[in-house]
Amino acid sequence: MKTIYNAAHSLHRAAHEFFRGEKVPAFEKPERADWVLAAVQRTNLGEIIAPAPHGDGPILRVHSKPYVDFLRSAHAEYLALGGTGDAFPAAWPIRGMRSDVEPKNFAARMGLYSFDSGSPLTAGTWAATRAGADCALTAVDLLNAGERSVFVLTRPPGHHAGRDFFGGYCFLNHAAIAAQALRDSGCARVAVLDVDYHHGNGTQDIFYDRGDVFLASIHGDPMTEYPFFLGHADETGSGDGLGANLNIPLAAGSPVESWFAALDHALSRIEAFRPDALVVSLGVDTFEGDPISHFKLKTSDYPGIGERIAQLKLPTLFAMEGGYAVAEIGDNVAGVLQGFERA
Ligand code: 6XA
Ligand code: ZN
């Protein structure tokens, strides 16, 4: 399996984040990708290649133009206004307020285009996530050229980023950009399987009313787990998308057996959808040692995920999402990919 590696990931380097309101050292740090890259090399997964530039067109198929324009220039604007370090939002348009009018004020626009304070916007955030989008699009090109599977190794992650908002460390939704690009290059139906500990609310936001992209997400129950305000089982899609959204929330602390039963259920629903290609939002914060999550998978469980996904026999794109137990995420990610390759 080829890996498309985003060498620009390290441009996104935050000193701190706000974790449930408390200022803490950033969990989402460059070492994450370094360890995964080392594991990909150590296990001889396959060639590691650089992304080819693809322009903004495919990004704008998924994200709104005002949002992309804001993201591109936000940090420079923050500095020009006298800001220092990383930028954080501090005010949001909550229920009953207007989100259809873009204010002029920078802090107001930070709030308009975000949903949490846990996602530092740094000087290099745009360059890093923009290169991540190119990685995802390069991976789509490889699938279209006949590769069976590809791995997009990038950070910051993407699955919390919606059509016009960032949050949960995510700015551009690389998995969604890839799914849309697969649709636009001839796949009639595409499935997204999100195995990250956290609900893929951004991906759900983007595809919720569409019947051509099926999303299955297995995640910590939003009643107690981030992102809290989306990811319940009764969210099944709307309009043309009714039935094309499957959320499987599991209680924090759920046993590994429940997680794999959920995976089997998600895979059977994906199979019934008869997609032409699969995008996997590959987070490994389901690991028992993850510092911000509460499932119990062990390193030895990860190859089984890849083996089961491979049974779908679909062109498959894996996109890196969360996972913060830095020393183990390399083995856990490589385990999934090797399991897929062996099956
Ligand atoms: C709260 C936790 C953000 C979770 C990010 C993540 N700041 N998403 O791993 O998949
Ligand atoms: Zn996560």
Tell me which residue has its CA closest to atom 9 in ligand 1. Answer: 322
Helix axes 302-310, 326-342, angle to 10 degrees: 30
Ligand number, closest to the Cα atom of 158:
1
| Atom of ligand 1 lying closest to residue 118 CA | 7
Q: What is the pLDDT of residue 117?
A: 93
- Would the CB of 290 count as within 6 Å of ligand 1? no
Q: How close is the Cα of 324 to the center of ligand 2, in Å?
A: 9
Q: Measured from the CA of 200, which atom of ligand 1 is nearest?
A: 10
pLDDT for 20 equals 82
Instruction: Extract the residue ranges of the chain whose pLDDT is less than 50.
Output: none
pLDDT value, residue 243: 98
The pLDDT value recorded for residue 21 is 84
Pocket test for ligand 1, best of 198, 219, 229, 230 (most atoms within 8 A of CB): 198
Q: Which atom of ligand 1 is nearest to the CA of 196?
A: 10
Q: Which ligand is nearest to the CA of 159?
A: 1
CB 231 near ligand 1, within 6 Å: no
What is the 343 CA–ligand 1 centroid distance (Å)? 30
132 Cβ inside 6 Å of ligand 1: no
Residues annotated as catalytic are 160
Q: Is the CB of 200 under 6 A from ligand 1?
A: no
